[in-house]
Structure 1
Amino acid sequence: MTLVVYFGQELWDGPRTLKEMLDLRHCPPEVARQIADYPLHLIEVREYPRLERFHSDLRYVFGFLQRDREKDKLYQYVTGNRAAFSHLDGAAYQIIQVMSHSSGLLKEKEEYENEEGEIDMCQALLDMREECISIGKEKGREEGISIGREEGISIGEEEGISIGKQLTKQVFQLWMAGKTEKEIAEICEIPIEEVKDILS
């Protein structure tokens, strides 16, 4: 018997029998009836419902992969099975790393490995989680600074425009009142060239 273990993210949508694999549309019916049909023995890792039937690390590999896209459920599952994940076989750890596309898990594999070759995946995941939180905080801080700068520049430009309008108004009022360019420059505390620019 051949057993197919499917690790894909999506549900299996391929053939489930030998005849489904073969294109028998152009085969004469009397020949097609002679072809034996065999089922495809398929285990879909992410959908397998009876994890309790496994009495090895395979139970935890399947359980992990069934939850690897829902981080809260995954965290609960791993912490709920702390004893198993604290002493996970190295091969099981590698399957989880490869099939869940969690490259961060193998980064420092030796750091979490004991003398028997078992991996403390709980600690590896906690460290990875802390690293992700730190990265998130740093990115948030950087984004906050960037947004603050942009808002500050915008506010500064608005205030500058407002001050410029008030200054222009004041220069024209003084000029209309008969003040000289030199007197306007002294009253407004600006260079005489700026007074000339405003009045031109």
Structure 2
Amino acid sequence: MYNVRKETFMGKIDIATKQYMSHRDIIADAFNFYIYDGRQVIKPEELQKIDTAEIALPYGNDADVAVQKLRDNLMLWSMAKDDEAVYVVLGIENQDKIHYAIAVKNMLYDALQYAKQVEEAKRSYRDRSKKKQVKLNSEEFLSGFKKEDKLMPVITLVVYFGDKDWDGAKSIHEMLSVDNVELLSYVPDYKINLIEPAKISDENFDKFKTDLGAVMQFIKHQSDKDGSWIKGNSRFNHVEKEAVELINIITGAKFAGDDKEEVVDMCRAWENSMKNAKLDGKLEGKIETLYEECEMSIPDIAKKVSKPEEYVREVIKRMKAACL
């Protein structure tokens, strides 16, 4: 029903998705769905926002040109394992359109994050050397990284807010111009992690524990005329307004709730929209009859159906376009 996306201001969808995906509970939900099949392993309270600007000198002490990229959302996950704190960097990249070079883009982001960690280690040794005289041997000085140092793993997850199948490459190897297996065995590959609404079965949307699942499921079915997938679906009985607003922006839907309520009953709103669509269809049919068969003027038709003249003109314009 909502397969025709409304015109939006440049960057409006990008801003809306970035804002929605900045919440700790939403990010935890996305990664738990993708990595842990919906099990609540990553807790929102274990996530800490970190700077999304990746600035690095990726080649150690002899580098002199900085590289900077801005990520959509970046979190540091701190979890306890064997009575020790373990840290993982979690990155979210939002796409409302298919990005055919996303593997290269994400590979660069992750590489910059690793290079940033090396740079921070180098800086810490430089600062500490003034007080504690921490010395690096010649090999360690070359990289600014000690032999026993370890990096935090970086996981980037692409959340796709489109209803089409992702037909772009999902790895570096898929983007290369050769397919020789022997040769490619020497070329490091990089695979993207992707949440793709069209590939999620309806029963698996329940593995989301936040309204991100409702957003993804609505996007998947936005072109469906049959609303059986939403009727009786308890997930849509209480959807937070922010999620509903995101659905409206992405799909062009016009769900509205009570200003006093923090949630929207999308099932009821869907049924109301279906009724309104039927009424609009009957009204447009009446306008068409008055215009073509009765040969009434637009002002007279507007008075007859109690609608503005502009509305009548728009209906007649669409009617003529359909006949071409």
Normalised to the residue count of structure 1, the TM-score between the two structures is: 0.57
What SS is found at the alignment partner of 1:80? coil
Give 1:50-61 correspondences, 5 Å limit: 50-61=204-215
Which residue number in structure 2 is paired with residue 101 of structure 1?
252
For residues 246 and 275 of structure 2, the distance between their equivalents in structure 1, rounded to whole angstroms, comes to 23
Out of 112, 115, 122, the residue aligned to residue 258 of structure 2 is 112
Map residues 154-173 of structure 1 onto 2, 5 A cutoff: none
Unpaired stretches in structure 2, ≥5 consecutive residues? 1-154, 296-324
1:141 deviation in Å? 0.7
- Percent identity among equivalent residues? 29
Counterpart amino acid of 1:112?
Answer: D
Q: CA deviation at 1:148?
A: 2.6
The ranges of structure 1 where at least 4 consecutive aligned residues each deviate by more than 4 angstroms after the TM superposition are 32-35
Instruction: Report the 3-state secondary structure (helix = DSSP H, G, I; strand = E; otherwise coil) of the residue aligned with 2:229.
Output: helix
1:41-190 to structure 2, matched below 5 A, reads 41-49=193-201, 50-72=204-226, 75-81=227-233, 83-102=234-253, 104-105=254-255, 109=256, 111-115=257-261, 117-149=262-294
Alpha-carbon distance in structure 1 between the residues aligned to 2:266 and 2:199: 23
* Contact 2:232 2:267 (C-alpha < 8 Å) held by counterparts: no
Matched, 1:38 2:190: yes
Separation in structure 1 between the aligned mates of residue 263 and residue 290 of structure 2, nearest angstrom: 44
C-alpha displacement at 1:24, in angstroms? 6.2
Residues 98 and 9 (structure 1 numbering): CA distance in 2 closer, same or farther, change over 3 Å? same
Q: Distance in 2 between matches of 1:119 and 1:113?
A: 10
Q: Letter of the aligned partner of 1:10 in structure 2?
A: K
Where does residue 16 of structure 2 map in the other structure?
none
> Which structure would you say has the larger RCO, counting Cα contacts within 8 Å and 6 or more residues apart?
2
Letter in 1 for 2:207: R
Cα gap change, 1:9/1:67 in structure 2, threshold over 3 Å: closer, same or farther? Answer: closer
Q: What amino acid does structure 1 have at the position aligned with 2:244?
A: Y
Contact 1:6 1:42 in 2 (8 A): yes
- SS of alignment partner, residue 149 of structure 1: coil
Q: Deviations over 1:121-165 (max 9, x none)?
A: 233323322322222111101112234336xxxxxxxxxxxxxxx
8 Å CA contact 2:161, 2:197 repeated in 1: yes
Gaps of 5+ in 1: 151-200
Q: Distance in 1 between matches of 2:270 and 2:212?
A: 18
SS for the counterpart of 2:228 is helix
Q: Alpha-carbon deviation of 1:40? A: 0.9
Instruction: Report the alpha carbon displacement of residue 43 of structure 1 after superposing the two structures with TM.
Output: 1.6
* Equivalent residues of 1:113, 1:119 under 8 A apart: no
Cross-structure match for 2:174: 20
Equivalent residue pairs, number: 136
> Which structure: greater helix fraction?
1
Question: Once the 2 structures are TM-superposed, how far is the Cα of residue 34 of structure 1 from its aligned partner?
Answer: 5.2
Instruction: Tell whether the 8 Å contact from 2:158 to 2:194 is kept in structure 1 after alignment.
Output: yes
Flag the structure with higher strand content: 2
Partner of 1:9: 163
Cα RMSD (Å) of the superposition? 2.6
Q: Are residues 94 and 46 of structure 1, via their aligned partners in 2, closer, same or farther at CA, if it must alter by over 3 Å?
A: farther
Partners of 2:258 and 2:172 lie apart in 1 by 44
Q: Whose Rg is larger?
A: 1
